[in-house]
Structure 1
Amino acid sequence: MQIWKRNLWVCWFGMFMTGVGMSQIAPVLPLFIKQLGVENASWISQLSGVAFGVTYIISAIFSPIWGRAADKYGRKPMLLRASLGMAIVIGCMGFAPNVYWLIGLRLLQGVITGYGTACTTLIATQTSKEHSGWALGTLSTANIAGSLLGPLIGGLIEEHFGMQNIFYITGGFMFIAFLTTLFFVKETFVRTEKKVPSFKEVWAQVPQPSLTITLFVTYFVMSIATYSVQPVLTVFVDQIAHDLGHVALISGAIFSASGLATIIAAPRLGKLSDKIGAHQIMLFTLIVAGILFIPQAFVHNPWELMALRFLLGLAAGGLNPSVNVLLKKITPSNLTGRVFGLNMSAAYLGVFGGSVLGGQIAGHLGVRYVFLVTGGLLLMNAIWVYFKVYGKLQRGKLLE
């Protein structure tokens, strides 16, 4: 097997487990905080929001830092650092004596993250142009699937093995990711002793700053769309389930449907982008995803919602690889880690922003408006992409 293909599958497993590790705490967080001694319901809700969100905010800050380190020291050392660090920190959460230790460990988890940035940079720099869409599309399914399936996995582990074991089992999987990375990932990296440029100096070397910013914003909006529904989906399912029962299980299945569709679609759409252009896939999937959000506001039962979420996952599977392929094309190889680090920061901010936005809209306007507003954001982003990216690429005014 070619080295880049072996690296791809090792990174896929590690990124999947990273996504699970970041999100698996969501369904049991309020229960765990209560178990740690917090009794007031309002205080539990507030602490749950802080404990969940702090990881993503801190990750957004540190992701470019680790991207810079990857460009300086190599991508494999960053993979080993992140996987081993997360294995230890997530495992320690099961021993947290109180909620403040838990929040501190979640904060530390955000500091040591960077596995996804290093993986994306490694695969982007090792893969040839004709295979980059397929490779990055395949890789993108890992983190998306892990993030979407993480809450379901966490809930299943809690139900069958107990709450603390969520952290021990997930930490164990991250340690397996560390071992597979250590023994199977191969990288030829020649470290240079040149002074590492500042952010201002790096940005001055970016050939297409306007296009790069557009891609960052698209990644940000995509993450908002993915996570805006997450905090309110269970509430919405409860409203439309009509006393079917098993609301948590049905909600998990709906999340899983979207994740499964993304796993199916992303490699295929990534491969198609190699043939017809990533900008065309990005625009098409933005429009389709935006349109598919609208009917979700008007469903009458969970099965209609599940079908629409599956279709949405098929469309959304083309966004992540399209953005990454375009970033790879326009970014010099010596800046790849830092640019992908900034892009990952945009994603983490989108996760936090989407969760907050969904909760606020549901609280003030109702759950159905979350779907309408999210669809509107995607369609507005599609219009911007059309004028800033698609039209110019079609006319040959931007780099192919």
Structure 2
Amino acid sequence: MKMWRRNLWFCWFGMFVTGIGMSQIAPILPIYINKLGVHNTGLIEQLSGLAFGITFVVSAIFSPIWGKAADKIGRKPMLLRASLGMSIIVGSMGFVSNVYELIGLRLLQGVITGFSTACTTLIATQTTNEEAGWALGILSTANIAGSLLGPTFGGFIGDTFGFRNVFFITGGLLFIAFITTLLFIKEDFVRNEKMEFSTKELWNTLPQRGLTLTMLLTAFVLSLSLYSIEPIITVYVSELCNHIKDVAVIAGVVFSASGLANIISAPRLGKLSNKVGVEKVILISLIIAGIIYIPQAFVKNPWQLMGLRFLLGLAFGGLTPAVNTLIKRITPNELTGRVFGFSISAQYLGTFGGSVLGGQISSFLGIRYVFFVTSTLLFLNALWVYFKVYKKINKGSSK
């Protein structure tokens, strides 16, 4: 087996577990904070939002820093640092005695992350352009599926084994990711001291700055679109359920349906992007995703919503790997870590922004408008991709 193929599957496991580690706290946060001694409902909601969002905001700041470190000292050291650090920090959340300790650890979790950046960079630099679409398609399923399945995982473990055990079990899985990375992931890294730049110099050095900027914006919009429903999903499902029990479980399954579909479609659409062009896959997937959001506002029961979320995941499966593949193609190998660091930052900001946006739109306009606004953002993104990416690439290929 080629070295990059073996690395791919161990990176997949690590990214999947890391995705769970970032998001598993979402459904249990209010209950956990209540058990830590906060009983005012309004304060619980405020502290829950802070504890959940602070990890993604801080991760957005530190991802480019760890990406730069990956380009300097290698990607495997970054994988070991992130997996071991997260296993300790997430595991420690099970021992906290008050909510401020929990928030502090969530902040440290944001600082120590960087596993996804290093994994994506490692696989991108070890594969050829012909292999990259399929490989990055496989890899993208890990992070998205872990993030989307994380809330279901956290809710199930919390209800079955107790809320503190959510952190102990997740920390244990992250430690397994550290051990597998240490033993099985291989890298032949050669440092290129000539390619060390400041952020401004890096940007001026990139050969396709316009395309890179468009891909970073697209990465942001994708995460924002996926997570705009996160703060309102339980309320929306409860409105659709009509006295059905286990609303929280059904809401978790509905939210995670797109993650399952993503696992199915991403590798296949990654291969397709190599054949027909990444710009076509990005453009068509954005349009289809925008269309699928609209009927979600008109569903009559949670099963219809689940089916539409599954279809949405199939469409989204073509987006992240295509974005990463295009970034790889237009970025020098020596700078790949830093550029992917910015891409991961955009995704984390989108996750946080989506959660905030969904809650605010629902509060002021109503739940169904969340789907309309998200659909509009996807269509606007598709329009920009058409003029800035699709037309540019096809114009260049026709010469």
Task: Bin the TM-score by the shorter chain.
Answer: over 0.9
Which residue of structure 1 aligns with residue 379 of structure 2?
A: 379
Deviation at 1:195, TM superposition (A): 7.7
Which residue of structure 2 aligns with residue 346 of structure 1?
A: 346
* Residue-by-residue CA offset, 1:351-378 (whole Å, 9 max, x unaligned): 0000000000000011110011001100
Deviation at 1:128, TM superposition (A): 1.3
Deviation at 1:193, TM superposition (A): 4.6
Deviation at 1:256, TM superposition (A): 2.3
For structure 1, which segment, 249-258 or 57-66, has the greater mean C-alpha deviation from structure 2 after superposition? 249-258
* Residue-by-residue CA offset, 1:99-129 (whole Å, 9 max, x unaligned): 0000000000000000000000000000111
| Correspondence 1:146-225 to 2 at 5 A | 146-194=146-194, 196-225=196-225
Is the Cα contact below 8 Å between 1:25 and 1:154 reproduced in 2? yes
Is the Cα contact below 8 Å between 2:292 and 2:311 reproduced in 1? yes
**In structure 2, what is the Cα distance between the partners aligned to 1:11 and 1:246?**
34
Deviation at 1:191, TM superposition (A): 2.6
**In structure 1, what is the Cα distance between the partners aligned to 2:397 and 2:74?**
33
Which residue of structure 1 aligns with residue 115 of structure 2?
A: 115
For structure 1, which segment, 167-176 or 187-196, has the greater mean C-alpha deviation from structure 2 after superposition? 187-196
**In structure 1, what is the Cα distance between the partners aligned to 2:80 and 2:40?**
40
* Residue-by-residue CA offset, 1:319-352 (whole Å, 9 max, x unaligned): 1001000000000111100000001110000000
Is the Cα contact below 8 Å between 2:195 and 2:334 reproduced in 1? no
Going from structure 1 to structure 2, the CA distance change for 1:321 and 1:370 (only over 3 Å counts) comes to same
Is the Cα contact below 8 Å between 2:137 and 2:269 reproduced in 1? yes
Where 2:96 maps in the other structure, the secondary structure is coil
Tell me if 1:284 matches 2:321: no
**Which amino acid is the alignment partner of residue 277 of structure 2?**
G
Deviation at 1:192, TM superposition (A): 4.1
**In structure 1, what is the Cα distance between the partners aligned to 2:14 and 2:348?**
18
Deviation at 1:196, TM superposition (A): 2.8
Is the Cα contact below 8 Å between 2:192 and 2:334 reproduced in 1? no
Is the Cα contact below 8 Å between 1:62 and 1:110 reproduced in 2? yes
Is the Cα contact below 8 Å between 2:79 and 2:118 reproduced in 1? yes
Going from structure 1 to structure 2, the CA distance change for 1:398 and 1:138 (only over 3 Å counts) comes to farther
Is the Cα contact below 8 Å between 2:133 and 2:274 reproduced in 1? yes
Which residue of structure 2 aligns with residue 42 of structure 1?
A: 42
**In structure 1, what is the Cα distance between the partners aligned to 2:263 and 2:357?**
26
**In structure 2, what is the Cα distance between the partners aligned to 1:373 and 1:275?**
33
Which residue of structure 1 aligns with residue 307 of structure 2?
A: 307
Deviation at 1:253, TM superposition (A): 1.4
**Which amino acid is the alignment partner of residue 123 of structure 2?**
I
**In structure 2, what is the Cα distance between the partners aligned to 1:195 and 1:95?**
44
Going from structure 1 to structure 2, the CA distance change for 1:219 and 1:195 (only over 3 Å counts) comes to closer
Question: Alpha carbon RMSD of aligned pairs, Å?
Answer: 1.2
Which residue of structure 1 aligns with residue 27 of structure 2?
A: 27
Which residue of structure 1 aligns with residue 105 of structure 2?
A: 105
Deviation at 1:197, TM superposition (A): 1.4
**In structure 2, what is the Cα distance between the partners aligned to 1:361 and 1:257?**
23
Q: List alignment gaps of at least 5 residues for structure 2.
A: none
Deviation at 1:240, TM superposition (A): 1.1
**In structure 2, what is the Cα distance between the partners aligned to 1:193 and 1:368?**
52
Where 2:298 maps in the other structure, the secondary structure is coil
Deviation at 1:41, TM superposition (A): 0.6
**In structure 2, what is the Cα distance between the partners aligned to 1:383 and 1:117?**
28
**In structure 2, what is the Cα distance between the partners aligned to 1:135 and 1:229?**
29
Is the Cα contact below 8 Å between 1:392 and 1:398 reproduced in 2? no
Deviation at 1:243, TM superposition (A): 1.3
For structure 1, which segment, 241-250 or 29-38, has the greater mean C-alpha deviation from structure 2 after superposition? 241-250
For structure 1, which segment, 75-84 or 249-258, has the greater mean C-alpha deviation from structure 2 after superposition? 249-258
Percentage identity across paired residues of the two chains: 65
Going from structure 1 to structure 2, the CA distance change for 1:398 and 1:68 (only over 3 Å counts) comes to farther
Deviation at 1:258, TM superposition (A): 1.0
Which residue of structure 2 aligns with residue 262 of structure 1?
A: 262
Which residue of structure 2 aligns with residue 233 of structure 1?
A: 233
Which residue of structure 1 aligns with residue 334 of structure 2?
A: 334
**In structure 2, what is the Cα distance between the partners aligned to 1:248 and 1:47?**
20
Is the Cα contact below 8 Å between 1:117 and 1:337 reproduced in 2? yes
Where 1:230 maps in the other structure, the secondary structure is coil
**In structure 2, what is the Cα distance between the partners aligned to 1:196 and 1:398?**
35
Q: TM-score, normalised by structure 1?
A: 0.98
* Residue-by-residue CA offset, 1:2-34 (whole Å, 9 max, x unaligned): 100000000000000000000000000001101
**In structure 1, what is the Cα distance between the partners aligned to 2:398 and 2:184?**
38
Going from structure 1 to structure 2, the CA distance change for 1:97 and 1:62 (only over 3 Å counts) comes to same
Aligned length: 399
* Residue-by-residue CA offset, 1:192-243 (whole Å, 9 max, x unaligned): 4558311111111100111110000000000000100011001000111111
**In structure 1, what is the Cα distance between the partners aligned to 2:235 and 2:255?**
14
Which residue of structure 2 aligns with residue 295 of structure 1?
A: 295
